Amino acid sequence: MSRTVYVNGTYLPEEEAKVSVFDRGFLFADGVYEVTSVLDGKLIDFHGHAQRLQRSLGELGMTSPVTMDELLDIHRELVTRNDLSEGMIYLQITRGAPADRDFVFPGPDTPPTLVLFTQAKGLIDSPAAEKGISVISIDDIRWGRRDIKTVQLLYPSMGKMMAKEAGADDAWMVAEGFVTEGTSNNAYIVKDGKIVTRHLGNEILHGITRAAVLKFASEAQMEVEERPFTIEEAKQADEAFVTSASTFVTAVVAIDGVSLGDGTPGPVARRLRDIYIEASRKAAI
């Protein structure tokens, strides 16, 4: 069935949704995005995503064409119109479509482009959640501002393909000897009960799920250390996992072909997933 999508103030069938060939998102990857998950027809951590969106826009000198309250209404309207119970809402804002291709940013007479659409997907019950995923390590050759959630996703996309070709599910990226993050998630290891994940900085995306999971972990008296770790250290860990809006907390059971623990999701990852889902469901709006 055709989805109803949102483009620049209008709700319309996906077949009729159009963006200009001069759109800077299309020509220059000049845009930012957010992915917000939906459970029971409600939004998980909307305010966290809205806040990060504003930060991404600010870092690139862009502005949102709508207020964050209006954005919440649009998310809710799309959930209703598409009868979405479980899945994600994808949002993208680009620097708009000037009259021609030009490296120089357009002036204020070019409004930003705002697009949102829904993706129905089972997030709670998935083979990855049940069995865990395997990852390979690859060089992190992305640009230096990975804290901005831009739509420049070619390398993460290539990383997923490298993983697929190697018979794995995903890739962890490594810069200067240390793991930065997964292609579309934040990366963690667990050793002797302690959770280790890279500290925030320009090198990684400041995951909204990461912030929630670290808060829940501390509240549950779990020890957390925010510091860089190597792939060698990760291979010797008791457990590993990733977090993102679309995977919540998902165990990593093998790294570069080396099994962790008994090769099944470990107790810390399983517990954090349960806590995260329960708490997020309660707080969903």
Token reading at 281: 């469901």
Site residues for ligand PDD, 189-218, by CB under 6 A, read 205, 207-210
Judged by beta carbon, residue 101 or residue 143, the one nearer ligand PDD is 143
In whole angstroms, the minimum distance from the beta carbon of 156 to ligand PDD comes to 6
Report the alpha-carbon distance of residue 105 to residue 44 in Å, rounded. Answer: 34
The piece of 70-78, 119-127, 182-190, 219-227 that touches ligand PDD (CB under 6 A) is: 182-190
In whole angstroms, the minimum distance from the beta carbon of 179 to ligand PDD comes to 12
Judged by beta carbon, residue 129 or residue 245, the one nearer ligand PDD is 245
Q: Hey, which residues does 86 pair with through a beta bridge?
A: none
Judged by beta carbon, residue 114 or residue 123, the one nearer ligand PDD is 123
The piece of 99-107, 116-124, 178-186, 193-201 that touches ligand PDD (CB under 6 A) is: 178-186
Site residues for ligand PDD, 228-267, by CB under 6 A, read 243-246
Judged by beta carbon, residue 94 or residue 185, the one nearer ligand PDD is 185
**118 is a site residue for ligand PDD (CB under 6 A):** no
- Specify the residue for token string 């570069």: 256
In whole angstroms, the minimum distance from the beta carbon of 205 to ligand PDD comes to 4
* Residue of the chain from 94, 134, 184, 197 that contacts ligand PDD (CB under 6 A): 184
SS3 assignment for the chain: CCCEEEECCEEEEHHHCCCCCCCHHHHHCCEEEEEEEEECCEECCHHHHHHHHHHHHHHCCCCCCCCHHHHHHHHHHHHHHCCCCCEEEEEEEECCCCCCCCCCCCCCCCCCEEEEEEEECCCCCCHHHHHCEEEEEEECCCCCCCCCCECCCHHHHHHHHHHHHCCCCEEEEEECCEEEEECCCEEEEEECCEEEECCCCCCCCCCHHHHHHHHHHHHCCCCEEECCCCHHHHHCCCEEEEEECCCEEEEEEEECCEECCCCCCCHHHHHHHHHHHHHHHHHCC
Q: Which one of 42, 131, 149, 160 is the catalytic residue?
A: 149
Reference 195, options 172, 217, 220, 163; nearest CA is 217
Q: Do the Cβ atoms of 118 and 3 come closer than 8 Å?
A: yes
**25 is a site residue for ligand PDD (CB under 6 A):** no
In whole angstroms, the minimum distance from the beta carbon of 256 to ligand PDD comes to 19
149 catalytic residue (yes or no): yes
In whole angstroms, the minimum distance from the beta carbon of 223 to ligand PDD comes to 21
Judged by beta carbon, residue 217 or residue 245, the one nearer ligand PDD is 245
Judged by beta carbon, residue 205 or residue 234, the one nearer ligand PDD is 205
**35 is a site residue for ligand PDD (CB under 6 A):** yes
In whole angstroms, the minimum distance from the beta carbon of 100 to ligand PDD comes to 30
Annotated catalytic sites, by residue? 149
Contacting residues toward ligand PDD, per CB under 6 A: 35, 181, 184-186, 205, 207-210, 243-246
